A and B are shown apart, each in its own frame.
Chain A
Amino acid sequence: MHQVHLFCFLASYAAAFFLELARYWKPLPPLRWLSLIATVAGLIAQTWYLISRSIQSQLPPLVASNHDWLLVAAWLLVAGYLGFVVWNLQKRGAEAMGLFVLPLALLMVGASSLVSNDPDVLLDSQRVLKMLHASSLVIGITGVLAGFLISVMYLLQHRRLKKKQNLRGGFSLPALASLARYNLWSVSVSMPMLTLGLLTGFLLIGGSEKASRPVSWQDPIVIGFTIVWLGMVLSFGGLFKKRSMQGRQIALMNAWAFGFLIITLLGLQILVNLTGLPSQHG
């Protein structure tokens, strides 16, 4: 039943994405509405899927499994995208957002079928801390994803303006000033949330030492995430110190840092699942 539902919203997002692609070639207003309707339908199906799973496992979606966790992150991304599009419906600039957000949402939903969907049997202990850990990480990672997309959009917009290229029909991006501001927001939200997620993760590891199934400090996902987090802190620390840094350089750095984090986390998750390496996060 769950697989059918997963396919439902996966298909809706795919349809919305293809409609966006069609709109890129022929910017007809009905295509935009159809794409939005398909996205809304997908989001409703995804919400229903997450609620169903939560009821079935008797656990909140965020902590039920890595599968649910990824789907929550994808849900946040799509909901944020829809909110932005509706908010900017009459303004120019949001037309091409779907071309960036929808493929990533599809990727996340697809990846969720490759990671564990077994409910966490140890949730009863330290429930609050685990909820805090999972929710801060999901917000942080969603912020990272959004930041990555915003940075890519910034770089494309910047390139277009420098190359003096015309706006393609149906493909307009927000102004550089707006993208720079959104970029700053994404860093401001994701970094503290990722830090909080990491700290609560350390507390959970420390607290689990006396438990029947302790979480290892050598968990590959913990090690990988900590290294990337450190790299990001150093990069962004330098960024805020160096005031003269230009918008394009910031976007370039964000795209690299955020992109690297996403690839590391997704790669490690899939690796752990496929190779059977010992991990509480696999």
Chain B
Amino acid sequence: MNLRVVYCNHETAALEIRERLAFSSEERLRAAYIHLQARFPKTEVVIVSTCNRVEIYFGAEDRGALPSQEQIAGFLAEFHQIPLDDFLNELRTETEIEAVRHLFRVASSLDSMVLGEAQIVAQIKDAYQRGADCDAVGPLTHQLFQAAMNFAGKVRTETKLSEGRISIASVAVGEFGKSIFERFDDKTVLILGAGEMAEETLRYLKDEGVSRIIIANRNQERGQQLADNWGGQWIPFAEWESRLSDVQVIVSATGASEPIITKQRFAELRQDKNCQQTLFILDLGAPRDFAPEIARCDDNVFLYDIDDLEQTCQRNRKARVREIEKAEKMLDAATSQFMHDFYHRATGPVVQQLRETWHEIGRQELDRLFRKMEHVNDSDRQLIEQTINRIVNKLLHPPLENIKQHSREGTPHTLLETMKQLFGLGE
């Protein structure tokens, strides 16, 4: 297996770096795929870019075709126009079985800021689908991502990792929002952006009793659809500032490549007498939608971004340590199983050919024998057939066992080649 992942996430890199390395829009992602395919033509690629991580998975039939970490870093620097030194130390890489284990960890949310969150599986699925749409996915990445999604489902059903507060939004509202407001049913919520993150947040806010929802989104169709689904009101994105005086909660996840409002502009808006209410801002965008200095604008503004939730997530993690242990064991088993299945699939054609060839030889010899011994009755005939089959199987056992043993550590290319030559097996 020739597999490599290069990544940075909430544990290895600060939000500032992740923001700069993120592929923040559909157009940027497609452009990245085009660049990568042109640069590394013999590889399969899948890009996973979320608010907490930027990861690029490469797979190749030929080991030499796999790009090195330096080459991938070079691509990132060139594509995002960022000096290499700014992020090189924040990048991590894994290959082969460790790369498989990493993706399984990510998909099952063991690597997430909020343990047990369901969102990451959908994000992995989207990433894979986008890779497929861009013709960047091949057999290796296909198998890998399918297995990762299956594993995520298994962890979700067989452990209690996802019990309690599991999404970033629910943690933020539960830990911070509820310490600001005693109730939400009399609050007006402004949602900036109508993506998956916004919908996830809305679901939680609805559970808290929020009834007045304003959705500001650039895409009217999507914004209107979200507003209809949740009983809210859609407004054009450009109008959101004018509604600031009406709202007490802002949830922002626009996917904009730079902050949608500066501290100076925000302070200007807050000077209005009608606009000085307590404001809880949940900035779930990466890059951030609100300039971080806005948090210091006045005493009644409480701004939280993704990184601010880190501490809460650590506590969440501690509370679920037993479930983590269970999931980690499942992870080890699933990774080994995947590797075994993968290598088994790689050795499968040779094994099958060898089996078929030898049994075919057995059948031919039996036919010849029975033609000469017409007096043999059916029960004797059956006995002879069973004996021959047993002999063939016993002869097959050592080479097949050898292949099996060797394939636990990787595809035994040399052994397979030798087998083909020794026993005259075709391609």
- Residues in A lying within 8 Å of B, measured CB to CB: 92-93, 157-158, 160-162, 164-167, 172-178, 244, 246-249
Q: Can you report 23 A-B residue pairs in the complex whose CB atoms are below 8 A from each other?
A: A158-B299, A161-B176, A161-B179, A161-B180, A162-B299, A164-B308, A164-B311, A165-B311, A166-B175, A167-B175, A172-B179, A175-B178, A175-B179, A175-B181, A176-B278, A178-B182, A246-B298, A246-B299, A246-B300, A247-B278, A247-B299, A247-B300, A249-B299
Distance in angstroms between the alpha carbons of A162 and B276 in the assembled complex? 17
Which of B388-421 touch A at CB < 8 Å? none
> Does B295 sit at the interface, judged by CB under 8 A?
yes
A221 to chain B, nearest CB (A): 36
Is B304 an interface residue, CB under 8 A from the partner? yes
* Contact pattern, B 173-210, Cβ under 8 Å of A = 1, otherwise 0: 00110111110000000000000000000000000000
In the bound complex, how far is the Cα of B394 from the Cα of A94, in angstroms?
A: 75
Residues of A within 8 A of B181 (CB): 175-177
Q: Distance (Å) between the CB of A122 and the closest chain B CB?
A: 48
Task: Enumerate chain A residues within 8 angstroms of B298, measured Cβ to Cβ.
Answer: 246
With A and B bound together, what is the CA distance between A162 and B279 in angstroms?
Answer: 12
Q: Which residues of A contact B179 (CB under 8 A)?
A: 157, 160-161, 167, 172-173, 175-176
Complex contacts, B302 vs chain A, CB 8 Å? 161-162
Taking CB atoms, residues of chain B closer than 8 Å to A167 are: 175, 179
Residues of A with C-beta under 8 A to B311: 164-166
Inside 8 A of A246's CB, which chain B residues have their CB?
276, 298-300
Given A162-B295, A166-B175, A244-B276, is A177 in contact with B182 using a C-beta cutoff of 8 Å?
Answer: yes
Cα A158 to Cα B302 with chains together (Å):
9
State the CA gap A247–B176 with chains docked (Å). 17
How far does the Cβ of B245 sit from chain A's closest Cβ, in whole Å? Answer: 14
Looking at chain B's contact residues, the main secondary structure is helix
Instruction: Indicate whether B80 reaches chain A with its CB closer than 8 angstroms.
Output: no
| Chain A residues with CB below 8 A from B304, complex form | 164
Quote the shortest CB–CB distance from B293 to chain A (angstroms).
13
Chain B positions within 8 Å of A, measured between CB atoms, are 175-176, 178-182, 273, 276, 278, 295, 298-300, 302, 304, 308, 311-312, 315
B211 to chain A, nearest CB (A): 18
A93 partner residues in chain B, CB cutoff 8 A: 182
CB proximity of A152 to chain B, nearest CB, Å: 16
Expressed in whole angstroms, the minimum distance between the Cβ of B279 and any Cβ of chain A is 12
A166 in contact with B300 given A160-B179, A176-B278 (CB within 8 Å)? no
Query: Are B180 and A175 interface neighbours, CB within 8 A?
Result: yes
- In Å, the complex CA distance between A93 and B181 comes to 12
Residues of A within 8 A of B312 (CB): 166
Closest residue of A by beta carbon distance from B300: A246
Q: Which 4 A-B pairs have CB atoms at the shortest separation, nearest pair first?
A: A175-B182, A248-B299, A166-B311, A164-B308
Query: Which residues of chain B are within 8 angstroms of A247 by Cβ–Cβ distance?
Result: 278, 299-300
A157 partner residues in chain B, CB cutoff 8 A: 179
Alpha-carbon distance A124/B273, docked complex (angstroms): 56
Chain A residues with Cβ below 8 Å from B276 are: 244, 246
Q: How far is the CA of A176 from the CA of B279 in the complex (A)?
A: 12
Please name 7 further chain A to chain B contacts, defined as beta carbons within 8 Å, in addition to the given A162-B302, A175-B179, sorted by A numbering. Answer: A161-B180, A161-B302, A165-B311, A166-B175, A166-B311, A178-B182, A249-B299
What residues of A have a CB within 8 angstroms of the CB of B295 in the complex?
A: 162
Whether A166 pairs with B315 at a CB distance below 8 angstroms is yes
In the complex, A172 Cα to B302 Cα: how many Å?
A: 18
- Chain B residue at smallest Cβ distance from A92: B178
Query: Complex: how many Å from CA A205 to CA B312?
Result: 59
Chain A residue with minimal CB distance to B304?
Answer: A164
**How many whole Å from A270's CB to the nearest CB in chain B?**
36
Residue of A nearest to B276 (CB): A244
Contacts of A164 in B (CB 8 A): 176, 304, 308, 311
Kindly list chain B residues whose C-beta atoms are within 8 Å of the C-beta of A249.
Answer: 299
Residue of B nearest to A178 (CB): B182
Q: With A and B bound together, what is the CA distance between A191 and B276 in angstroms?
A: 27
What is the CB-to-nearest-CB distance from A167 to chain B, in angstroms, rounded to a whole number? Answer: 6
Q: Smallest Cβ distance from A131 to chain B, in angstroms?
A: 37
Complex Cα gap A172–B178 (Å)? 11
Which residues in B have their C-beta under 8 angstroms from that of A160? Answer: 179
Residues from chain B with Cβ under 8 Å of A176 in the complex: 179-181, 278
Q: Which residues of A sit under 8 angstroms from B176, Cβ to Cβ?
A: 161, 164
CB distance from B249 to the nearest CB of A (A): 12
B43 to chain A: closest CB distance in Å?
41
A157 to B180, CA, bound (A): 9
Q: How many Å from the CB of B311 to the closest CB on chain A?
A: 4
B180 CB contacts on chain A under 8 angstroms: 161, 175-177
Q: Given the complex of chains A and B, what is the CA–CA distance between A71 and B419 in angstroms?
A: 96
Q: Within the complex, what minimum Cβ distance (angstroms) separates A60 from chain B?
A: 38
- Distance in angstroms from B306 CB to nearest chain A CB is 12
Q: Give the distance in Å from the alpha carbon of A172 to the alpha carbon of B295 in the complex.
A: 22
Q: Which residues of B contact A162 (CB under 8 A)?
A: 295, 299, 302
Nearest Cβ on chain B to A28's Cβ, whole angstroms: 14
Nearest B residue to A252, CB-CB: B299
* Complex alpha-carbon distance, A153 and B5, angstroms: 48
What's the nearest-Cβ distance from chain B to residue A163, in Å?
A: 10
Q: How far is the CA of A157 from the CA of B182 in the complex (A)?
A: 13
User: In the complex, are the beta carbons of B273 and A244 less than 8 A apart?
Assistant: yes
**Bound CA span A164–B180, Å:** 12
CB distance from A240 to the nearest CB of B (A): 17
